[in-house]
Homo-oligomer: A and B are copies of this chain.
Amino acid sequence: MKKYNFSAGPSTLPEEVLQQAAEAVLNLNNSGTSLIEISHRSKDFIAIMDEARSLVKKLMKLDDNHEVLYLQGGASLQFSMIPYNLLKNKAAYIDSGNFASSAIKEAKKIGSIEVLASSKDDKYTYIPKNFEIPKDVDYLHLTSNNTVYGTELKEFPETDVPLVCDMSSDILSRDIDFNKFGLIYAGAQKNIGPAGVTLVIVNKNLLGKTDRNLPSYLDYQIHIEKESMANTPPVFAVYATLLNLRWLDKQGGVSEIEKKNREKAALLYGEIDRNPLFRGVCVEEDRSLMNACFFLNDEATYKAKFDELVKQANIIGINGYRTVGGYRASIYNAMPLEGVQTLVNVMKELEKIA
């Protein structure tokens, strides 16, 4: 029996994507060869990479200034690649969570960083707002969604400063004007694919303005020129991401999936707020559509029972992050409404027998 997997990442993928990915490992496009055996310079794989790039452009409605790259090393390597490629004098960062904090730490190794605002003192339970953006910074770095605490940036600043955004956990989950950004990056393993590939969208006009003699792998310009094939790409992860993008396209694209995401989030947060046994972790206005974090008000009395009911309902992956505790239900694009309804039913059941 299929389980409802609420893991924060790697995370649930549509059943048809898993079926198609497994089939391709045995026999790609009825070619008699496996996806993971063929040359990345083969016609079959070049077509995969081309479609994976163009489908991102389509789904995000990107203009021709924005290049789509599939890289390795995760968001973690992007924490360094971004300042290496874009930081001349100074960059501004917003410290809205664990990953934002890591991005700041890595950028400080490379250049001058100004942290404009932080919610660290309040355990990152809200999104910092009302900061002033200096006019002289090379870019402003934001994190659109924080998986650990379940907060999400609802509105992006209007500014002439290039916006750089870590969208690892909510990319393609809601309709945004993606062309407003100088650079967007996302580890695939939350909302767009399996672990092992990182999507980077960069406005090419921002490049070539520093004089660092970068390692080739860290140089966006080289990856643009080589169309993400400067070296052997992570073939399986790119293909599984493509399958997932096709699935999203079939669902009607970003605006349609956003409706479903809002419906799922409303259902779950509604129950967290209604059910007297539970409470949310972060401030209401910043609640994430992707990661709903909540506590049992009385863990000592109800935790064992709730965990048992969760298990019986075939739900996995809802433990909170280790430094936060409680529960976290990640309800990415691929989580069906029935999964969320199942979790809500378990919460109601606990209330009934309490």
What mask results when residues 199 to 221 of chain A are scored 1 for a CB within 8 Å of chain B, else 0? 00000000000000111111000
Tell me which of A34, A36, A102, A240 has the highest count of chain B C-beta atoms within 10 A of its own C-beta.
Answer: A36
A76 and B230 contact, Cβ closer than 8 Å, known pairs A5-B33, A38-B7: yes
- Asked whether, in the complex, the Cβ of A10 is within 8 Å of the Cβ of B215, the reply is no
- Asked whether, in the complex, the Cβ of B77 is within 8 Å of the Cβ of A215, the reply is yes
Q: How far is the CA of A110 from the CA of B216 in the complex (A)?
A: 12
- A105: chain B residues at CB < 8 Å are 216
- Asked whether, in the complex, the Cβ of A25 is within 8 Å of the Cβ of B33, the reply is no
User: Is A312 in the interface zone, CB < 8 Å from B?
Assistant: no
User: Is A236 in the interface zone, CB < 8 Å from B?
Assistant: yes
For A45, give the chain B residue with the smallest CB separation: B10
Neighbour of A236 across the interface among B23, B72, B196, CB < 8 A: B196
Neighbour of A195 across the interface among B109, B214, B236, B317, CB < 8 A: B236
What mask results when residues 232 to 247 of chain A are scored 1 for a CB within 8 Å of chain B, else 0? 1111110010000000
- A316: chain B residues at CB < 8 Å are 33
The minimal Cβ–Cβ distance linking A43 to chain B, given in whole angstroms, is 11
Name A146-170 residues within 8 Å CB distance of B.
Answer: none
- Asked whether, in the complex, the Cβ of B3 is within 8 Å of the Cβ of A195, the reply is no
Name A163-195 residues within 8 Å CB distance of B.
Answer: 187, 189, 194-195
What mask results when residues 1 to 41 of chain A are scored 1 for a CB within 8 Å of chain B, else 0? 11101011111110000110111011000001110111110
User: Is A73 in the interface zone, CB < 8 Å from B?
Assistant: yes
For A196, give the chain B residue with the smallest CB separation: B234
Neighbour of A235 across the interface among B10, B12, B22, B102, CB < 8 A: B10
- A22: chain B residues at CB < 8 Å are 22-23, 25-26
- A233: chain B residues at CB < 8 Å are 195-196
- Asked whether, in the complex, the Cβ of A217 is within 8 Å of the Cβ of B80, the reply is yes
Name A69-109 residues within 8 Å CB distance of B.
Answer: 72-77, 79-80, 102, 105-106, 109
The minimal Cβ–Cβ distance linking A11 to chain B, given in whole angstroms, is 6
Q: How far is the CA of A21 from the CA of B11 in the complex (A)?
A: 18
User: Is A231 in the interface zone, CB < 8 Å from B?
Assistant: yes
For A7, give the chain B residue with the smallest CB separation: B39
- Asked whether, in the complex, the Cβ of B33 is within 8 Å of the Cβ of A3, the reply is yes
A196 and B72 contact, Cβ closer than 8 Å, known pairs A213-B109, A215-B80: yes
Shortest 3 CB-CB contacts between residues of A and residues of B: A196-B234, A80-B215, A72-B72
A-B contact pairs, 21 of them (CB 8 A): A1-B32, A7-B37, A7-B38, A7-B39, A10-B232, A12-B37, A13-B36, A13-B37, A19-B26, A33-B316, A38-B317, A40-B195, A76-B217, A79-B215, A80-B216, A102-B216, A109-B214, A189-B235, A195-B234, A196-B234, A196-B235
